[in-house]
Amino acid sequence: MYKLILTVDYEIWGNGTGSFSELVYEPTQKMLEVCDSYNAKLTIFAEMGHYWAMKRYVNFFKNEISLFEKQLKDAVDRGHDVQMHLHPQWIDATYNKGKWNLNYNKWACSELTYNEIYELLKNGKNDLENLINQVKKDYRCIAFRAGSWCALPSKNLVKALIKNGFLIDSSVAKGRVLKSDVCNIDYTNAKSAYIPWRINPDNINLSNFDGKLMEFPIFSTRRFFPLRFFDNNIINLTKKIKNIKRDSSNGPIFYDKKKNFLSLILRKIRGDYYQNDFCTITSNILLRNLLKLKVHTEKCIPIVLISHSKNFIDLDNFDHFISSVSDFPNFNFSTFYESYNLINKNY
């Protein structure tokens, strides 16, 4: 049996541009409505850095703060879940003449000192629990996702998560490689593309039988490269994504790990790993990837799918995916807390 955990990174663009209402609140409302129609559960990874920054400029962002808090409480009250997400470039952000100025030296959670990340996690967990406890008294913030998946190097982050009582990290996506002047992650050697593991305290990619923190990896799959040229659904969805309005004039520059042209082509043909993102991947491909998984009858396995509210541009694609999965006999919709309690003794 598989427990499908639908997650959405609840955030505007990483360079501080974009409308909270248009990129976060409105798309998330649409996701919640679809999920409610099929008794599915959505887990909102609330990005706390932007929230704190808005609260420092409350006179400018009173309405956005209200929408943030209202939507999270309403989602939990309807049976969904909220957990913690963090882009630390917001921590020292300033707002001037309608623009945010972010601190890109603080881009990666994994590059912060232990004391820095410990305090941020502590404050984020406390703020979410104080907010959500208003509608659900037994709510606990137990899961975390690092901004830009920056959980390597992981020693300080893992230690701080454990000290703050987190039970789950969900930042790793097997095969994901991201390199820039502000971060350097490589999940090529992650233990699994979808099965959770107890984290080695020195390296989040590795497992440790006695690990106190569990990794619920973002489900990743190898891409059959030529398919993107022949599948009209892929082509049409790709066009919609490319047409999303964004201001990329400011921010870090990310580049491919392998700069050699021939090695890049060979890797593409062989098939890169990609995250199963229900905003940017067609429903048919997502369904195919789920159906390819081996049927496990002896234990429940959580499968984490990702999305970003700012990339939600095809309501029909999402509706088709959720309605189809709801008919699968070996899949149930779940949350991190529910799945952790079910599988903890088996890992």
Label residue 260 by pLDDT band (50, 70, 90): low
- Residue 269 pLDDT greater than 60, yes or no: no
Q: Which domain holds residue 109?
A: 2-346
Taking CA 222 as the corner, what is the angle to CA 217 and CA 226, rounded to the nearest 5 degrees?
Answer: 150
Q: For 143-200, how does the pLDDT look when each residue is reduced to its tens digit (9 = 90+)?
A: 999 999 999 999 999 999 999 999 999 999 999 988 888 888 999 999 999 999 999 9
Per the prediction, the chain carries an average pLDDT of 89
Q: Characterize 196-208 residue by residue with b for buried, 16 or more Cβ atoms within 10 angstroms of its Cβ, and e for exposed.
A: bbbbbbebbbbbe
**Residue recorded with tokens 């040229």:** 229
| Number of domains the chain contains | 1
Confidence (pTM):
0.91
- In this structure, what CATH number is given to the domain that contains residue 38? 3.20.20.370
CA distance 199 to 205: 7
- Residue 136 pLDDT greater than 70, yes or no: yes
**Residue 169's closest CA among 32, 58, 283, 7?**
7
Give the pLDDT confidence score for residue 184 in this predicted structure: 87
